[in-house]
Amino acid sequence: MQVLIDHQIFTIQRYGGVSRYFVELARALNARSDVAARLLAPAYVNRYLSPQDALHPLSFAWDGPNRGVRFRPFVLRPLAWLAVRTARPAVWHETSYEACIDRLPKGVARVTTLHDMIVERFPSHFANAEERRLRKLAAMRRADLVICISHATERDLLSFYPEFAGKTHVVHHGVAQARVEGPKPSNLPDNYLLYVGTRQAYKNFDGLVRALGASNKLPPDLQLVCFGGGALTPAERKLVEESGFPLRRVRQMQGDDQLLSQAYRHARLFVFPSRYEGFGMPLTEAMVQGTPIACAKASCFPEICEDAAAYFDPDDLNDIRGCLESLLENPDRLLALGRDSQQRAAVFTWQRCAEQTLMAYAKAVESHGVR
């Protein structure tokens, strides 16, 4: 089966979960003898790609702020149309909710991946929520099949848009299975909880901080490491100060994948208080490193972690606090959770993701054939 994956996410995202997903998926697909998958990225800003990569031949990196966004409408769309018309792949997989090609050649099935329903669930958190919702809806309507990255995402989709019943296929993400070894880097504290990612309202960072501030049982040297998401804003610093958790014990870090893996590996506990995610890649990243996990009992998290995590109610500060205190006071429980999380990680391989994606592609091709 020949598959073309469009250029769009690679012209706007230097790093990120969506572009990582498509690169890893394409590599896993190409590891099979029955698939030829190519990323159609003649010009890109993405850092997961390189000019020598056989996944996207005849391409070059386009550096500079927002230059890729300028390139897309004027150059890359016509090139995408020419590539599809010439190659006539079985499947055209869109990486964005925008319409790169309105009408595909006859016989080419269109697939889109639904990453989450955050805009629909939390519209007040986005200034352009309605515009984003309509763009996503249009993408799903023009697709022959919608890949949902969790069963929870699929349920949310169908609760908002029942019209897509029978048009979805659930495929979990994979995760790189390499566990880091070696001593703890010197820039990581000795005793810390780890929080990863951005800190928008639905991520519930404020709930975590308030729960920590309300506890009188935490070790006095325990720190909170926030990896990624940029420096703490003045409002976030004020939140920490008002919570009762000392600001000096909150550390924000940036770094590459190697440092992030080390941060997972040496954390006492990875805490994921978010109220909603489409999948929750940090959960599987923590699992690979054998990190004990405490997360919200919400969204897709029980589906992803099953028994390999401790759960709390994200809207109950006492429950968050009690969960963290109970775990930190019980080293044997932490050890058992770490073992369980590493075992659970083995389920989420990119090979398995590619296998299930091929099933989705076959379903899309069949659906396209009866239109």
Q: Are residues 221 and 158 in the same domain?
A: no
Say what the pLDDT of residue 75 is.
74
Range of the domain at 125: 2-174+350-369
What pLDDT band is residue 203 in, cutting at 50, 70 and 90? very high
- Domain containing residue 122: CATH number: 3.40.50.2000
Residue predicted with more confidence, 195 or 40? 195
Query: Alpha carbon of 328 to those of 53, 248, 293, 296: distances in Å?
Result: 45, 20, 12, 17
Tell me: do 340 and 355 sit in the same domain.
no
Question: What is the reported pLDDT for 65?
Answer: 56
260 and 201 belong to one structural domain: yes
pLDDT higher than 60, residue 68: no
Q: Are residues 282 and 163 in the same domain?
A: no
185 in a structural domain: no
CA atoms lying within 13 Å on the CB side of residue 248 = 2
DSSP per residue, 103-150? SPPTT-EEEEEE---HHHH-GGG-TTHHHHHHHHHHHHHH-SEEEESS
Q: Are 140 and 216 contained in the same domain?
A: no
**Confidence at residue 164, expressed as pLDDT on a 0 to 100 scale:** 98
In a domain, 183, yes or no: no
With respect to residue 169, please indicate whether it lies within any of the assigned structural domains.
yes
Given a cut of 60, whether residue 66 has pLDDT beyond it is no
One domain for residues 33 and 170: yes
| pLDDT (0 to 100) of residue 276 | 96
pLDDT at 56 (0 to 100): 82
Is there a contact between 149 and 279 (Cβ–Cβ < 8 Å)? yes
Q: What is the sign, positive or negative, of the torsion defined by CA atoms of 13, 18, 20, 22?
A: negative
Has residue 162 been placed in a domain? yes
* Whole-angstrom distance, CA of residue 278 vs CA of residue 299: 8
Mean pLDDT confidence for 280-295: 97
As a whole number of angstroms, the distance between CA 258 and CA 251 comes to 18
Q: Residue 67: what pLDDT?
A: 54
- What percent of the chain is modeled with pLDDT above 70? 95
Distance, in Å, from the CA atom of 145 to the CA atom of 196, rounded to the nearest integer, reads: 32
User: Do 163 and 278 sit in the same domain of this protein?
Assistant: no
Q: Is residue 179 part of a domain?
A: no
pLDDT digits (tens, 9 = 90+) for 342-370: 999 999 999 999 999 999 999 999 999 75
Q: Which residue has the tokens 């659906």?
A: 367
Question: Would 75 be classed as within a structural domain?
Answer: yes
Q: What is the mean pLDDT of the chain?
A: 93
Asked if the structure places residue 180 within a domain, the reply is no
For residue range 138-177, list pLDDT tens digits in order. 999 999 999 999 999 999 999 999 999 999 999 999 999 9
Mark whether 120 and 199 lie in a shared domain. no
Q: Provide the number of structural domains found in the chain.
A: 2
Distance CA 19, CA 5 (A): 11
- The pLDDT-based confidence of 246 (bands split at 50, 70, 90) is very high
- Here the tokens at position 302 are 């029980």
Shared-domain flag, residues 157 and 214: no
Confidence class for position 335, pLDDT limits 50, 70, 90? very high
**Res 74 pLDDT > 80:** no
Percent of the chain with pLDDT over 90: 81
The SS3 assignment for 45 reads coil
Position 181 in a domain? no
The DSSP result for 186-204, as a single string, is: TTS-SSEEEEES---GGGT
12 and 159 in a single domain? The answer is: yes
Q: Are residues 162 and 75 in the same domain?
A: yes
- Please check whether residues 119 and 32 belong to one and the same domain: yes
Which is more confidently placed, 182 or 195? 195
Q: How many residues does the chain have?
A: 371
Confidence of residue 62 (pLDDT cuts 50, 70, 90): low
